[in-house]
Amino acid sequence: MKKIIVQKFGGTSVADTDKIKNVAKIVIREKQNGNDVVVVVSAMGHTTDHLVKMAKALSPNPSAREMDMLLSTGEGVSIALLAMAIQAEGYDAVSFNAMQVGIMTENIHTKARILDIKTDKLRKNLDAGKIIVVAGFQGVTEDGEITTLGRGGSDTSAVALAAALNAERCDIYTDVEGVYTTDPRVVPKASRLDEVSYDEMLELAHAGANVLHPRSVETAKQFAVPLRVRSSFKLDNLGTLILGVDKMEIFKPVAGVAADLQQARIVVCDVPDRPGIAAGLFGKLAKENISVDMIIQSYARKISNTNDIAFTVTLADLPKTLTVLESLKAETGASDIKVDDNIAKVSIVGAGMIDRPGIASTMFETLAELNINIKMISTSEIKISCLVDKSDAHKAVEALHKVFGLECDEIADVKGDLPDV
Ligand code: ADP
Ligand code: ASP
Ligand code: MG
């Protein structure tokens, strides 16, 4: 049986017809290597952003179902164009949307999880020698409703397809030459990583390194899918391999630094200090599918017997969160709900920080030297995150990247020219 390679191309890689021709050549080259090829594509260029803008111009809070109907159209355009470009080169190709394939998701609009992928149609078409082009980012529920997987979700479509088809590899082609020690657009002297572990990549992705959708890394780890991030434009560079930690040697305590600017902090003030308050609050948010990230509960004040609960959510979930909190205000007896959406989460990540003291204090000292105030802190075994003012985020990333020895002398190429394939 032939090996199956899943390739994914992001928005920049298919931004115009010349770039789509470039993608067609990369796809065909993989087919010429004797492999079966399934290609996942995102919407062209900034299409999804434009669609969001139009929706927001018509309604401040558009319905999630209609957002999915709207946003899923972007990928519909690119799959057909790429299939045509491949056919024009004399190769047999067919495009499918998520409904045609059967990319089944839960019934949650704008951030659905993939539950199952039907493979019969894919296998039949691969057996017939075709190159298959699948729309990323979209799914379908059991009742035939269109869903999307969350911004950046095409990566997850690709990895989930690779897992379902037991593919040899999943290659994520993008506009940078791999995974860097931090966003090379923010720190041009960021270093490209040859390898990074699933766990570190997962933390980096959750911390705002949007080069990979967090759920794609989660899925790759769960199904042990070999995952590579590489450039659509610099084909001589094999990019970054994401793999299990047992296969890696760890040299540095910190592998990468990331910032997430899409966060909001909420403080629920003066709630009674008794059992059940946090459960009631976060239980209600969970029911509305709102993910909470950092949480801090203050010490109870002796006289009033109350405390404050502070937590962060994504900016996208902020309006829904405030609606839920308003409805709970009377129940919890909170005196006030304060919102700060001018914040960012800055994180350092590294499997090498386990059992190595001094990493956290170096991070805090570095921020203090820049007079950056830390508003919240959270940690995991391999990550430390600090909430800071949004205006301090890039300065913080730059300084942390330097202090943990991650800089290199070369300037990263974020968007290369079209190569000769
Ligand atoms: P695509 O459209 O191909 O999915 P994305 O814009 O989603 O591309 O992801 C690639 C971008 O991710 C890069 O251009 C870069 O600015 C950003 N990025 C953020 N953090 C990192 C990182 N640690 N390594 C590489 N790229 C990163
Ligand atoms: N087109 C979608 C987005 O812009 C999905 C993706 O690109 O992965 O978020
Ligand atoms: Mg992306």
For ligand 1, atom 17, name the residue with the nearest CA: 211
Distance (Å) from CA 136 to ligand 2 centroid: 8
Top-level CATH class of 4-174? alpha beta
Crossing angle of the two packed helices 154-164 and 214-222, in degrees rounded to 10 = 10
Crossing angle of the two packed helices 198-206 and 214-222, in degrees rounded to 10 = 160
Q: For residue 233, which amino acid is it? A: F
386/24 Cα distance (integer angstroms): 43
By residue count, the chain amounts to 421
- CATH topology classification for 258-403: VC0802-like (3.30.2130)
Q: How many Å separate Cα 12 from the centre of its chain? A: 16
40 and 47 Cβ atoms separated by less than 8 Å: no
**Does residue 10's CB lie within 6 angstroms of at least one atom of ligand 2?**
yes
For the chain, give every residue range classified as CATH 3.40.1160.10.
Answer: 4-174
SS3 387: strand
87/80 Cα distance (integer angstroms): 11
Mind listing the pLDDT tens digit for each residue in 271-287? 888 888 889 899 999 99
In this prediction, residue 249 carries a pLDDT of 64
In this prediction, residue 419 carries a pLDDT of 55
Closest CA to 210 of 174, 248, 243: 174
Counting atoms of ligand 2 from 1, which one is nearest the CA of 10?
7
Q: What is the CA radius of gyration of the chain?
A: 23
**Does residue 136's CB lie within 6 angstroms of at least one atom of ligand 2?**
yes
Distance (Å) from CA 47 to ligand 2 centroid: 9
**Does residue 153's CB lie within 6 angstroms of at least one atom of ligand 2?**
yes
Counting atoms of ligand 2 from 1, which one is nearest the CA of 75?
1
More confident residue, 247 or 144: 144
Q: Which range is least confidently modeled, 27-31, 84-88, 147-151, 319-323? A: 319-323
Mind listing the pLDDT tens digit for each residue in 64-92? 999 999 999 999 999 999 999 999 999 99
Question: How do 195-197 and 36-41 pair as beta strands?
Answer: unpaired
The preferred substitution site among 8, 12, 42, 232 for testing ligand 2, maximizing ligand atoms within 8 Å of CB, is: 42
**Does residue 43's CB lie within 6 angstroms of at least one atom of ligand 2?**
yes
Distance (Å) from CA 55 to ligand 1 centroid: 25
Mind listing the pLDDT tens digit for each residue in 362-378? 999 999 999 999 999 99
CB atoms within 10 A of CB 86: 27
For the chain, give every residue range classified as CATH 3.30.2130.10.
Answer: 258-403
The preferred substitution site among 12, 48, 70 for testing ligand 2, maximizing ligand atoms within 8 Å of CB, is: 48
Q: Quick one: pLDDT band at residue 418, thresholds 50, 70, 90?
A: low
Reported pTM: 0.93
**Does residue 11's CB lie within 6 angstroms of at least one atom of ligand 2?**
yes
**Does residue 350's CB lie within 6 angstroms of at least one atom of ligand 1?**
no
How far apart, in Å, do the first and last CA atoms of the chain sit? Answer: 27
Supply the DSSP symbol for 300.
Answer: P
Q: In the chain, what is the greatest distance between 2 CA atoms, to the nearest angstrom?
A: 79
Average per-residue pLDDT for the chain: 93
Mind listing the pLDDT tens digit for each residue in 89-121? 999 999 999 999 999 999 999 999 999 999 999
Helices (H), 229-317: 277-287
More confident residue, 272 or 130: 130
In this prediction, residue 305 carries a pLDDT of 85
**Does residue 398's CB lie within 6 angstroms of at least one atom of ligand 1?**
no
71/373 Cα distance (integer angstroms): 38
265/325 Cα distance (integer angstroms): 13
SS3 94: strand
Distance (Å) from CA 374 to ligand 1 centroid: 26
**Does residue 157's CB lie within 6 angstroms of at least one atom of ligand 1?**
no
Ligand number, closest to the Cα atom of 12:
1
118/143 Cα distance (integer angstroms): 15
